[in-house]
Chain A
Amino acid sequence: MDLTAETVRGIAKLARLRPNPEEEQRLIQDLSAILEFFAQLSEAEVDGIEPMAHPLEVDQRMREDEVTEPDRREDYQEIAPDAREGLYRVPAVLDSD
């Protein structure tokens, strides 16, 4: 299964990566090989098997609706790349939503 350069560029864009042409070539080969490897799964006999979202036969434990988290803003902001006046700061994003 060979991925096209265009597909790989699309995936890179979604992952916020900007590979140079050399890296792009390597990605095409690596990703194609990975997909081929995964394609082996389609050889498995799955007739009559229900699709599952999780391999374990257990379901989600839930918590009660209680507020137990303390306010640790100062601790968290100390390790943030940039935070001022209680707000995390990032390069400007201008999309209107």
Chain B
Amino acid sequence: MSEWETVIGLEIHTQLSTRSKLFSAASTQYGAEPNRQACGIDLALPGVLPVVNREAIRMAVMFGLAVGAKVRTPCVFARKNYFYPDLPRGYQISQYELPIVEGGEVEIELQDGSHRRIELTRAHLEEDAGKLLHEGYAGESAVDLNRAGVPLMEIVSEPQMRSPEEASAYMRTLHGIVTFLGICDGNMEQGSFRCDANISMRQKGEKELGVKVELKNINSFRFVERALRYEQQRQIDALESGKPIIQETRQYDPGTDRTRPMRVKEYADDYRYFPDPDLLPVVVDESIQVELAKSLPELPQARKTRLIKQYALSADLAAVLVQSRQWADYFEATVEAGAGASTTARWITGEVFARMHKDSTELAEPPVSANSLAQLLKCIDSSVVSNSAAKEVLAAMWKGEGEAEEIIEARGLRQVGAGADLDQWIDQVIEAHPDEVEQYRGGKDRLLGFFVGQVMKASGGKADPKQVSEQLRIKLQSG
């Protein structure tokens, strides 16, 4: 049996977070009523002319600088010609021979902790098309052009990924970069970040690429991996039974976990690109590049490394925190406000995340500020409240019942350390369990846990477990 090598390249479409469209001053806000945000330019009324959005250019330049690419200046917009009702102009304004970003590379990290560099071919700017609706229009289709003209940046990788896992790691890495740069909101459900994956197989050692299949419009990290895994096996099976691979576009269906061919449009690839005569070459001044280079934020990989070093976090915790800039910022703000780094990391990735996901109403950010969270976590670190009581306090803070200290006092959750109360509870427990005491003294150390549990129960959860076990050990031994 021959050994196969998988070759994968990704084209990722990121929607840029501009307020207005790439060539018109209509809003890009998501969720508006149909066609309320489609102006004359988006509708391609006769006589209108596109005007380039400066911010979209800046965002593409930021991306180029962040991945160490060459920012091409001047770059040129081109017309990609095809007829479809979601494209009123009859052509999409895109970039072809002279894209704004050329080359560059990103480093991806795999499950086993190993790293690989993936080179980029290019990234270019283009406008999105409108949305077609087919269901419930009595044999017709309906068109919503709000999305028409929204700026997209398409990032094309070299065919350098060798497994579905690498492809999803690459997709995650780019997602991290564009969201940390603040140039894309990264919302995959709304389609702000989606990809097309090209996959082919070849014999190991072979230089030539095999026939590729394109998987269209995948909007999840999990799906890209599953779709490619299915497609990889499908191609190997075909090749090994002597069937040729047909170059085609396929679609992944998460329901059945399979890919199936999409209808082939005749001449679909004959786009007859040419430079758009309505738009002049776009020059990006050297000074703008220098300014943007200076203001580039710390990117996920660098931030992760710093979090590990600066706060002595485990690589796993740091990796979870840098999955979004919001959480990395929240973590650092909480530590800044005085909480211990390790407690903060554990609580944010534990309780806070759990609460964020539990609330079915989509929360953009946690209702508890970093400062308030820090006050609670300080109470844990100084043993003012137990871990379990702190969860109750956080739940109350989440509902807006006040600051940690107030809630702890109001609910009587202050943990009781060494003192008369603790002595009394311990004495009660020792008296109530003479058999266990005898066994413990006879060498059954494991029973300590049992005693701690009993004392905690007697205290109504208020005793400090650390103090309890210390005091218990002394008392049990001295008996």
Contacts and interface: CB of A to CB of B under 8 A. Distances in A.
A36 to B, nearest CB: 20
Interface residues on B, range: 35 or more
Contact of B20 (A14, A65, A89, A91): A65
B281 A53 contact: yes
Nearest to B17: A65
Given A14-B272, A67-B20, A96-B263, A87 B35 contact: yes
Contacts of A61: 51-52, 280
A26 interface: no
A54 to B, nearest CB: 5
Given A16-B83, A58-B280, A69-B26, A64 B54 contact: yes
Chain A interface size, as a band, is 35 or more
- Looking at A58, A69, A90, A93, the one whose CB has the most chain B CB atoms below 10 A away is A69
A84 B133 CA distance: 13
Q: Main SS of the interface on chain B?
A: loop
Interface stretch (A27-35, A41-49, A72-80): A72-80
Nearest to A76: B43
Given A59-B280, A63-B53, A68-B25, A91 B263 contact: no
A90 to B, nearest CB: 4
Given A65-B18, A76-B38, A93-B84, A86 B33 contact: yes
Nearest to A75: B40
Nearest to A52: B281
B141 A54 contact: no
B36 A67 contact: no
Interface of B: 18-20, 24-27, 33-40, 43, 45, 51-57, 74, 76, 81, 83-85, 98, 132-134, 137, 139-145, 216-217, 251, 262-263, 265-267, 270, 272, 275, 277, 279-283
Interface of A: 10, 13-14, 16, 53-54, 56, 58-69, 71-73, 76-77, 84-97
Contacts of B263: 94-96
A87 B281 contact: no
B262 A59 contact: no
23 contacts: A10-B267, A54-B281, A59-B281, A61-B280, A62-B51, A65-B54, A66-B19, A72-B40, A73-B36, A77-B35, A84-B142, A86-B33, A86-B36, A87-B34, A87-B35, A87-B137, A87-B142, A87-B144, A88-B142, A93-B141, A94-B134, A95-B84, A97-B262
B216 A90 contact: no
A26 to B, nearest CB: 22
